[in-house]
Amino acid sequence: MSSRTKGIAVFAAAFAAATLIPTGSAQAATTATYAEFFDNANYCCSSFYDPGDGGRCFNLPTYFQKTISSVRSNTRWILFSRINCWADSGAPSLDRTGDVSYVGDQMNDKTLSVKVF
């Protein structure tokens, strides 16, 4: 197991109690509001699942900072390139609803915080 995989496993265990649930494919498991963030394009590889709760800001832990490349979701979500979901005119962010197989060059591997609605 690579150190990155071990780190993600540690992250998943530590944050499962805080509604962060590691998944193979959370989309099929629920009809409630959710977003699943993947570290590669086309919904591949390591991911974390966030059920959303009306747009609370979540700062990514070290293991998932600057890794998000694709998103599966049935709701609105926003990626921020700064912590605390801070957006200003110079900081890239991405506001979408639904699945995105690639977040684009502007946000790929740059996310530090997220909101899920």
Which of 112, 98, 107, 91 is closest to 36 using CA atoms?
98
What digits encode the pLDDT tens for the residues 11-27? 444 444 344 444 454 44
Q: Could you tell me which residues come within 8 angstroms of residue 3 by beta carbon, excluding any fewer than 6 positions away?
A: none
What digits encode the pLDDT tens for the residues 64-108? 999 999 999 999 999 999 999 998 888 899 999 999 999 999 999
pLDDT of amino acid 82: 96
DSSP tag of 16: G
Q: Using 50, 70 and 90 to split pLDDT, how confident is the model at 31?
A: low
Q: How far is CA 110 from CA 28, 45, 94, 103, in A?
A: 27, 17, 11, 10
The fourth-level CATH superfamily of domain 3-116 is Crystallins (2.60.20.10)
Hey, where are the domains in the chain?
A: 3-116
pLDDT of amino acid 52: 83
Q: pTM (2 decimals)?
A: 0.73
